[in-house]
Amino acid sequence: TVGILAFTLPLEKISILQEKERVLLPTDAVPTNYKILLAPHLDTFKFDGQETIDLQVRTATSKILLHSTDIEVDAASVSVVSDNGASLKASSVTYPSKDTVLFQFDSEIPVGIAHLSLSFVGNLNELMCGFYRSKYTVDGVQKWMATTQFEATDARRAFPCYDEPARKATFEVSLRIDEALSALGNMPVQNEVKDAAFPGTKTISFAPSPIMSTYLVAFVVGEFDFVETTTKHGVLMRVYTPPGKSEQGKFSLDVGSRTLDYFTDYFGIAYPLPKMDMIAIADFSAGAMENWGLVTYRETALLIDAEKSGISSKQRVAYVVAHELA
């Protein structure tokens, strides 16, 4: 992550940072995979969510505690593989703190593999953290996009999870969005379908991610232009911009592709993902964020008119891009 001097956080965000207490979750169950479906609504600034967390239960337990902030859980159940998929519905869902949700079951979940399934509703907030909304303008018309910033502990604002860097897992993310919009994730798009039950929408599913921490998960929904290239080592790289600004992404694209190739050659280690996207976000609290496969940037840290900008401006953009890809 790169910080930029002379920016102001909203008062709500400052309050969150001041009040936040570190809550480490019990280790009686650990996540191995998340299957997540989110449906953001850019008219109401809400989102619906469904997820299944694959768990390795280490100690028999009748309760599961997860991180969760500003999310209302509608339903929760656990299916236990060792009991032939027997399902246990949560007898209660409570919120012990502003950052946690507790699921209580009438009987113990045995040691072994279990699947915790949840449905929930959250907010596309304006705090520039978690799953939030960002405003941009196209031809004088104000529009909204939905984007993420999870570092350090704000994945819990998008989906209940084990929001600790050490609790790594794989992620299978799907987004149900307006059919006129586009969606980006850490991984390439694996599938895109339309469902008659949700007219005017499409569901985009991304390929499973490598094992990683929750704070590196990212997804963006909106209208984008892009420029692209393929590095000499065969990695597809794109720079996504607000509509009409793709020319301003060409300098960063050139720097980014050469940076990936340089580090691959220098360390003798191939870039581990099939693609690298970089995207400019209008409302962004830091300078940039090194989400795997989808690096997010403040617009001024990524977009530049290479013909009209001075060398110092180019150096600054090049430094930020190289730092995030390192």
DSSP state, residue 161: B
Closest-CA residue to 321 (of 291, 297, 294): 297
What is the three-state SS of 53-72?
EEEEECCCEEEEEEECCCEE
- The residues, any chain, with a CB within 8 Å of residue 50's CB and separated by 6 or more, are 36, 37, 117, 118, 119, 120
Closest-CA residue to 38 (of 162, 158, 194): 158
Q: Is 218 exposed, middle or buried (0-12, 13-18, 19+ CB in 10 A)?
A: buried
Which helix (H) or strand (E) segment holds residue 32: the answer is: strand 29-41
The two three-digit tokens of residue 72, written as one number: 């209302």
Terminal-residue alpha carbon distance, the chain? 11
Given the residues 51, 164, 299, 324, select the one marked as catalytic.
324
Residue 307: C-alpha distances to residues 9, 57, 131, 228, 310 (Å) = 32, 58, 35, 19, 9
Strands (E), 42-169: 46-57, 61-67, 71-80, 86-89, 92-97, 100-109, 112-123, 130-138, 141-149
- Residue count of the chain: 326
Closest-CA residue to 65 (of 90, 34, 88, 45): 90
DSSP state, residue 35: E
The answer to whether residue 324 is catalytic is yes
Which helix (H) or strand (E) segment holds residue 306: the answer is: none
What residues are annotated to the active site? 324
